[in-house]
Structure 1
């Protein structure tokens, strides 16, 4: 007889293992969903990551999943496994309020493409997760569903904009989720909470069914999970054209023309302060330790500087705000009092001149060209995800490695890859002296997600993080 599975194990098994246990009838889908519902009831009041619960629908779907197994039906790779969804993505028949009073009570009639794909693979929507208003801040807080706390330390933020998703997964309330990223928003929250997240090549995963729609040139939808193998599984299900998103044009099987041949030595360049400083010394040490581990695994590893990176956040923010500002002003006209401070900041923003907007576009193109040349010499960039560990709620200034910086500095090591559309993976790796997780970021050339997923699986949690999870 096999080892008895206890409820606390269920909520920290990853989605891949849960799918196997359900498929082999070692666990029922109903047991798995009930365990997660119980976990949500126990810890969500402290964290406020889950904002809409689909308990009845999830249990009904789980019952049907178990009946399908009993009949011997063909099943998908996520058959009977619950998952959560950032509340910026549409879910048919389930509240999608987008962190804003302007969408209170909104119930879509159609699933976002990514939600539909996980459901088609057998996944079951368990809940929707918290976010900042319109998904446009690095803290997951809004006037409708409140603030999300970091399960590692409730006085810290889990980040944004997919902070509710990352906190739910880290706290064992969900094994797998869908988030989105315009400058940091799946990778930063993943780093702050010790999980994995992928921002794939822009257009690799359809954006259809996500709000805001007007900034789709910069937004990426991506998978979030406790393990890299779950992120890889979800990515394999989410990628490919959907016939709706004009940027989602890459074939599901597409790889870069310059993709490395299997068996060749992977060339890795690593950098921390030299490109994204100031960076907390413990994070730089983690990046260096990851570089050492990759070298030991047979990669050709070299420290680099990336002098061409500059300040990618400024042109990115200018263009995102220029596209989003008119939309928010139209939406909120006459109801400005219902805006959160984040939304109000967008509402009050000044549209840039054509000259300034064009200059920002030219900076983006120059950065793409520079990275294109760089990736002719290297296969992977290894760097920090965030320059610091999870920050206190509402912090406007931070001291990092002895220097005082704006809260915007949190995006200094991630925004370049939204501006260029390069794929980037957040990998949980180490534990800080404050017992907060530290992650490293792996970046590859466009369409080469497989190589960073491969390396991420070799590095995850092996820099001292181990099996440590938040104690709640």
Structure 2
């Protein structure tokens, strides 16, 4: 059973294609595992076993008839509960959407089904995806399979927990500030945040139709896979990326084909940002990893100065988020909120608001973002990959909110980076949100553990639109790591 449970998605796809196991058997065993382990984990929050079994039987029938749809044909997968799915509730963790069933599949869901994947169910999220822990009033809290008393992260916390615990072979999540990368780091799995625009957003966070005659969240957000291998990330990306055929409109340039990356790889790395330390265990694991790269003959260069103006990047992230998600808030309320949060924004620049919210100011902040993108791309011109931490700590014990301001959770108690108290949002998102501003593709991969046995991941950052080069390079780097380990919980 464990042999089947921890096959990678592409390995399971090969087994199904070669008829070592049927898609029906694989799906049935996945549901048996969900029944056994999910009550403690609470990673999968909605499923339709009958529909999944029918899809698995169809996948087997097609293979018997000589039709093979690709590496995920017949493979049981899950989807984050923010992507629309016909026949399955899609709530985004928001109580007003409890029981909401969308009329159509999201673009990425449709593509995965067309590729023969079998949808097991939906994975848990925080309300409106606005937290780095996964807990909501509809489904409750998701636990980390490495330690149930700790968080799997957010907002793709259910995604990472399900994949790490062997409840799913692959999941698709979203990321506007670290929501793919932080859970992958906390749960010891892999994720890909593609170049912004490489994967269509159609069908993400449905159920708000009619509340505005335009789409918010135009920038920063990305959509990508969570998996147990880089090969799985590449297989999923090849399926879900590309122009948005659902709307007939191009969503962005096509990701470029792999280039012939020079060998040895030229890698730059940074163990922490000045003023925002990471834990000793994270620094030590990153140093050991880099040393192994040097021993393999790779050209490794440590940098101490950040590759872009980080404070300006965090402020830009906050202002874009504020402008796009809060554009319908009355000006008076925005002004009062700005005055009340001035002190907070000085401590946490990503909490900055765009005040006054005018077209001129909005265009100005987008121009600043373009300058930051150029700055980072210039830094990447003569190197292949940039390595840095995902966040300041490993997974932390579940933490209660101090209060809610609108839909935004507030945490006044600190997280501890070793013995040093650090603000919750700084400790969780400051290393990840930088690359939402640059729009860069990022692979998160596990490289070791801390002294408590909790996973440690790193961000492996590539050049914009060079997602396939990034995946190829990350695979080369990961080949020096020990074999992937499953959590003891499972």
Q: Same fold (TM over 0.5)?
A: yes
Query: Which residues in structure 2 correspond to 1:192-341 (within 5 Å)?
Result: 192-211=186-205, 213-243=215-245, 244=247, 248-251=251-254, 254=256, 261-274=260-273, 277-307=276-306, 308-311=308-311, 312-326=313-327
Q: Which runs of 5+ in 2 are unaligned?
A: 207-214, 331-351, 401-412
Comparing 16-25 with 312-321, which one deviates more in the overlay?
Answer: 312-321
Query: Could you tell me how far apart the structure 2 residues matched to 1:470 and 1:112 are?
Result: 34
Gaps of 5+ in 1: 1-6, 330-348
**What is the aligned partner in structure 1 of residue 20 from structure 2?**
26
| RMSD value, Cα | 2.4
Matches within 5 A, 1:68-87: 68-87=62-81
TM-aligned CA distance change 1:295 to 1:328, over 3 Å: farther
* Contact 1:429/1:462 (8 A) holds in 2: no
- Separation in 2 of the partners of 1:97 and 1:404? 34
Map 1:340-379 → 2, pairs under 5 A: 352-354=355-357, 357=362, 360-379=365-384
Q: 2:4 aligns with which of 2, 10, 26?
A: 10
User: Compared with structure 1, are the counterparts of its residues 445 and 154 closer, same or farther at alpha carbon in structure 2 (3 Å cutoff)?
Assistant: same
TM-score, normalised by the number of residues in structure 2: 0.85
List aligned pairs for 1:29-48, cutoff 5 A.
29-48=23-42
Q: Distance in 2 between matches of 1:319 and 1:91?
A: 28
Partner SS state of residue 51, structure 1: strand
- 1:429 CA displacement: 1.2
Report if aligned partners of 2:216, 2:324 keep a CA contact under 8 Å in 1: yes
Q: Distance in 2 between the 1:466 and 1:175 partners?
A: 14
TM-score (norm 1): 0.88
| CA deviation after TM superposition for structure 1 residue 364, in Å | 2.1
Conserved in 1, the CA contact under 8 Å of 2:463 and 2:470?
A: no
| CA distance in structure 2 between the aligned counterparts of 1:110 and 1:180, rounded to whole angstroms | 19
Indicate how the Cα distance of structure 1 residues 176 and 241 shifts in structure 2: closer, same or farther if over 3 A, else same. Answer: same
Taking the aligned partners of 1:202 and 1:143, their CA distance within structure 2 comes to 31
Q: Structure 1 residue 66: deviation in Å?
A: 1.5
CA distance in 2, matches of 1:247, 1:423: 19
Q: What is residue 420 of structure 1 aligned with on the other side?
A: 438
State how far apart, in whole Å, the 2-side matches of 1:207 and 1:94 are.
19
Residues 276 and 387, structure 1, Cα contact 8 Å, conserved in 2: no
User: Where does residue 332 of structure 1 map in the other structure?
Assistant: none
Query: How far apart, in 1, do the equivalents of 2:370 and 2:288 lie?
Result: 33
Aligned-pair CA distance for 1:247: 6.8
Q: Structure 1 193/382 Cα, relative in aligned 2: closer, same or farther at 3 Å?
A: same
Q: Distance in 2 between matches of 1:461 and 1:314?
A: 37
CA distance in 1, matches of 2:86, 2:298: 45
CA distance in 2, matches of 1:75, 1:403: 52
